């Protein structure tokens, strides 16, 4: 049995869970989701590994679940990278155009020239993203190939990460028996899954609201202009509920997902919810409005921090299509409405788009990064080595039989 369609696998290692998504690419270049696996993770804090054993185990469990659902054994994955260790900056390069017409080779040379900046030895370059090209001083060119000129300039956005943080992530993957086909910035992957080309052209800020932090990526004129991290996330909301309503963390997380609302004014007066007690104390009834009053200040603070990030980026006037919120924490009711009030620009909630197969399963912001990794991998032709499970089982049984025969002949 031969695999007809290329297979791609994406791994999103988050602060609260690990997600593995497996997809196949059809003849029409359509991405079909065939397997999804998730596992809770306590080994990551704000994108940095703090417990290798726990993270490795979470990766194994999520991978096994996705493989079981898809029917493929995977050996390679595209991995999302995020955290407070990510830093990015702009760089410029300039070259003379050969033969008076810009070719692909000239574009590669000018990007190489822009890349030639001193990066500290403890940092690793993750992406070099072309932002703008100039031909003989004329700027605003997105694709200069075929244009006539003498001098070609490029502005690129370089994203770097801490060598130590990345190598700890890779160590967890190796222990789980997986290889890395590419490292991709989390928010870049999310943007690939969630944003439309029109939004990127008009200017947009995507905020991926994870458990440990909010990661932001800004697009201006269709290119990445800035990336940043705000160290507040969904776990802070959960912690506030646990303290404010005196309930265990697990119960607080469940309350946030089922009944959470960031605007107390839109919660019906008479609605009552059951809150689990701590240390065997009995369950008690609390108004849902009380839960919303615990969440509202934290939601407002988080959105204010994001607005400050937007102001400091200097790109506020250029994000014409507004802000898109995605990630698990973005599903809190009332957050979009509060966001429009705080940012004073349009805000929408983003979920993965333009994928087939199990699209109902991944129709949630928490899968934006994992699905985005597949779309990024498809665009870059980063297909994974995958074996259909039945072939894998046959190979293992055949190998076992050969070993049996070998030792049978010996004795």
41 three-state secondary structure: coil
Cβ burial, residue 311 (10 Å; 0-12/13-18/19+): exposed
Write out pLDDT tens, residues 186-205: 999 999 999 999 999 999 99
Specify the DSSP element, H or E, that contains 238: helix 234-244
Confidence band of 358 (pLDDT split at 50, 70, 90): confident
Q: Is the model's pLDDT at 255 over the cut of 90? A: yes
Average pLDDT over residues 159-188: 95
- Comparing C-alpha atoms, which of 231, 188, 207, 199 is closest to residue 343? 207
Q: What is the CA radius of gyration of the chain?
A: 24
Q: How far apart are CA 204 and CA 326, in angstroms?
A: 13
Sign, Cα dihedral of 179, 161, 306, 345? negative
Confidence band of 383 (pLDDT split at 50, 70, 90): confident
The conformation of residue 261, written as its DSSP 8-state character, comes to: B
Q: How far apart are CA 39 and CA 161, in angstroms?
A: 25
> Residue 381: its pLDDT value, please?
87
Q: How far apart are CA 306 and CA 229, in angstroms?
A: 9
Distance of CA 47 to the CA centre of its chain: 11
Q: Is the model's pLDDT at 129 over the cut of 60? A: yes
Write out pLDDT tens, residues 286-312: 999 999 999 999 999 999 999 999 999
- Comparing C-alpha atoms, which of 89, 88, 58 is closest to residue 178? 58
Lowest mean pLDDT among 308-317, 354-363, 375-384: 354-363
């Amino acid at each position: 049995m031969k695999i007809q369609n290329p297979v791609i696998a994406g791994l999103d290692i988050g602060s609260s869970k690990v997600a593995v998504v497996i997809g196949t690419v059809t003849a029409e270049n359509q991405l079909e989701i065939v397997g999804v696996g998730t596992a809770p993770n306590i080994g990551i804090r704000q994108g940095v590994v703090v417990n290798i054993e726990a993270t490795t185990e979470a990766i194994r469990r999520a991978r096994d679940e996705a493989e079981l659902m898809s029917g493929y054994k995977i050996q390679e994955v595209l991995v999302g990278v995020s955290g407070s260790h990510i830093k990015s900056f702009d760089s410029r390069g300039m070259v003379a155009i050969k033969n008076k017409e810009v070719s692909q080779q000239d574009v590669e040379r000018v990007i190489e020239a822009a890349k030639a900046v001193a990066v500290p030895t403890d940092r690793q370059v993750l992406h070099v993203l072309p932002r703008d090209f100039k031909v003989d001083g004329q700027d605003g060119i997105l694709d200069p190939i075929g244009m006539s000129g003498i001098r070609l300039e490029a502005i690129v956005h370089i994203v770097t990460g801490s060598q130590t943080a990345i190598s700890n992530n890779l160590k967890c993957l190796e222990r789980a028996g997986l290889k890395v086909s590419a490292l991709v910035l989390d928010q870049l992957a999310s943007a690939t899954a969630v944003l439309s080309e029109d939004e990127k052209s008009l200017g947009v800020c995507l905020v991926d609201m994870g458990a440990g932090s909010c990661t932001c990526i800004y697009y201006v004129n269709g290119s990445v202009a800035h990336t940043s991290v705000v160290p507040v996330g969904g776990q802070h909301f959960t912690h506030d509920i646990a303290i404010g309503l005196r309930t265990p963390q697990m119960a607080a997380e469940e309350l946030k997902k089922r009944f959470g609302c960031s605007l107390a004014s839109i919660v019906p007066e008479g609605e009552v919810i059951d809150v689990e007690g701590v240390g065997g104390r009995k369950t008690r009834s609390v108004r849902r409005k009380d839960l919303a009053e615990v969440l509202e200040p934290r939601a407002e603070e988080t959105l204010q921090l994001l607005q400050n990030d937007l102001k400091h980026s200097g790109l506020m006037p250029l994000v014409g299509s507004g802000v898109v919120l995605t990630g698990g924490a973005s599903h809190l009711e009332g957050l979009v409405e509060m966001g429009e009030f705080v940012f004073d620009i349009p805000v929408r909630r983003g979920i993965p788009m333009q994928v087939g197969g199990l699209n109902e399963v991944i129709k949630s912001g928490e899968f934006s990064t994992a699905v985005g990794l597949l779309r990024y991998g498809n665009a870059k032709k980063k297909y994974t080595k995958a074996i259909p499970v039945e072939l894998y089982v046959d190979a293992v049984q055949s190998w076992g039989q050969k070993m049996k025969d070998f030792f049978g002949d010996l004795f």
